[in-house]
Amino acid sequence: MPEQSGDKSQEATPHRREELRQQGHVARSQDFASALLLLLGLIALGLTAGGLIDFLGRLTRRQLGGGPWLTTDVDSAIAQWNSLMADLAGAVLPLLLMVFAAGVVVNLVQVGFMFLPEKAAPDLRRIDPLQGLRRIFSLTNMMRLVFGILKIAVLAAVAGMCLYGERHNILAMGGMSVPQIASYLCSVLFWTAVKMAGALVLLAALDYGFQLWKYERDIRMTPQEIREELKNLEGNPQVIARRRQVQRQLALTRISHAVPKADVVLTNPTEIAVAIQYVPEKMAAPIVVAKGAGIVAERIRKLAIQHGIPIVEKPVLARALYKEVEVNQPIPQDKYAAVAEVLAYVYQLKGKPIPTPN
């Protein structure tokens, strides 16, 4: 099939994803965040309900019990107000802090940390009537409408099932005392709300999956977009190829001057080649004058043959020197013995005296 530049058939690149994230475009479901926050808020309410009930009881006894206030002044009113605010803060702040922490965690779990101050700047496009109409009658909003109707139906079904399961206890409330009725109603309402919140979380998880699928589909890229991004990130491919060709030519030129000076060339035997030179009067240890793999290794071997430089197959030593030693650097101390053995062998082949360092 011929490649079509307009066909978004390619997965989004990491650079594209990061670019969109910096603009605030990520896969998110507001329903999922709201439902999960509602569930966590109900759990927090269940954990702090004892303190709230105790506060309301003390407030009721204090306000409705005792003698009537026949006279008052500013100081006593301020004292009463401060006392009320202190008690209210002690009862409500734990719940508010837990809900706040839950809200932060829910959003971090969904989209991670995002700092986008530009989103707070005025944007006239947000109040454009035409754009607003397009958003209202878009496919996304139609899906939200259908999903909203589905949520109402599911919540009504969950609430109805919960209350239907308590029908016998509800009919028996006539024989309960007022505190028992209050406790029972609070318990039924709380657990019904928790189950409804759980159902919302399950529905919202489906919505989040849909939003994630839609986001991945929307950010897909055409082959042309990928080529343009590669060109912007790394430059023109033709320029890159030309630069690499020049670098390869320079490397081959350096090798052409360095290899004839070598005493021996170690090979792997075909993939890697390392040329070693040792001049005892000038060097404390043998140095690597050239090395390479693939085409460069083949060039080193050809130069060695042309200039009568011995080629010795030492795969392990050649790989180690190729990996550990840079060009024009001495060999490491732990390779002295192995290289000295090779040099001694080469000098014996040439019938020359083995050099000794000063």
Residue 129 is assigned to a structural domain of this protein: yes
Residue 206 is assigned to a structural domain of this protein: yes
Q: Do 87 and 173 fall into the same domain?
A: yes
Q: Do 255 and 136 fall into the same domain?
A: no
Q: 3-state DSSP: the chain helix, strand, coil percent, rounded to 5?
A: 70, 5, 25
Residue 336 is assigned to a structural domain of this protein: yes
Chosen domain end from 185, 218, 251: 218
Residue 11 is assigned to a structural domain of this protein: no
The burial class, CB within 10 Å (0-12 / 13-18 / 19+), for 35 is buried
Q: Do 149 and 266 fall into the same domain?
A: no
Q: What is the pLDDT along the chain (358 residues), one digit of tens a residue?
A: 334 445 777 788 777 887 777 777 777 777 788 888 888 888 888 888 777 878 887 877 777 776 666 566 777 778 878 888 888 888 888 888 888 888 888 878 777 776 656 555 566 666 666 666 666 666 667 777 887 888 889 889 998 998 888 888 888 887 888 878 888 888 888 888 889 888 888 888 888 888 888 888 888 888 888 777 777 766 566 666 777 777 777 777 888 888 888 889 999 877 889 999 888 888 888 889 888 888 888 888 898 898 888 888 888 888 899 888 888 898 888 888 888 888 888 888 877 666 655 5
What per-residue confidence (pLDDT) applies to 5?
43
Q: Do 123 and 256 fall into the same domain?
A: no
Distance CA 147, CA 56 (A): 39
Residue 137 is assigned to a structural domain of this protein: yes
Identify the CATH number of the domain in which residue 285 sits. Answer: 3.40.1690.10
Q: Do 193 and 261 fall into the same domain?
A: no
Residue 358 is assigned to a structural domain of this protein: no
Residue with tokens 């039924």: 188
Distance of CA 183 to the CA centre of its chain: 46
Residue 356 is assigned to a structural domain of this protein: no
Q: Do 30 and 177 fall into the same domain?
A: yes
User: How many helices (H) does the chain have, and how many strands (E)?
Assistant: 12, 5
Q: Do 278 and 214 fall into the same domain?
A: no
Q: Do 210 and 282 fall into the same domain?
A: no
Chosen domain end from 154, 183, 218: 218
Q: Do 154 and 52 fall into the same domain?
A: yes
Q: Do 203 and 130 fall into the same domain?
A: yes
Boundaries of domain holding 165: 26-64+75-218
User: Helices 14-22 and 223-234 sit at what angle, rounded to 10 degrees?
Assistant: 80
How many structural domains are present in the chain?
2
Q: Do 142 and 265 fall into the same domain?
A: no
Q: Do 49 and 172 fall into the same domain?
A: yes
What per-residue confidence (pLDDT) applies to 157?
92
Residue 10 is assigned to a structural domain of this protein: no
What per-residue confidence (pLDDT) applies to 171?
82
Distance CA 312, CA 319 (A): 13
What per-residue confidence (pLDDT) applies to 354?
63
Q: What is the pTM of this model?
A: 0.49
